[in-house]
Amino acid sequence: MISERVVKLATEYLDQCLAKSEPATLIAMLGYIDSQDKTIAVAEEVNEALRQRPSVYLRREDGRLEFTTAGSDRIVTPDDVRRAFMIYDEQFWAKQKKLKSRRRGRPSANGHDLSGGERKP
């Protein structure tokens, strides 16, 4: 079943990127939707967003999908979403690991050691 909220977020992402002439990728779209709605889009939702934006096309390069204003391909497959999600997931957890390592040993504003240690005076 298609989520209208996810489709709205997908079209919002496309509109924002293309209006600013910024790169728009399926990986970044999944991240945008996840950050706003805590869910991952499926191919049908991305394709519905593309149906609502007839001037947006796809470019496949090295297994990655970029949204452009020129081209002929307009169908995202479940495999496209699966590959993009795997890359998004790797990037997400790498960022989490990096943030966690930065916090180690630094006291928080309330005096707690963010590494899991004892409260500092």
Record the pTM.
0.79
Nearest to 87 by CA among 62, 118, 52: 62
Q: Could you tell me which CATH number the domain at 4-103 has?
A: 1.10.10
CA dist 70 → 34, 55, 103 (Å): 27, 8, 44
Q: Are 118 and 111 in contact (CB under 8 A)?
A: no
Q: What is the pLDDT of residues 61-114, one digit of tens each?
A: 887 899 999 999 999 999 999 999 999 999 888 888 888 887 765 655 555 554
* Alpha carbon distance 7, 53 (integer Å): 11
Q: Are 57 and 71 in contact (CB under 8 A)?
A: yes
* Alpha carbon distance 57, 77 (integer Å): 14
End-to-end Cα separation, the chain, in angstroms:
53
Would you say residue 5 has pLDDT above 50? yes
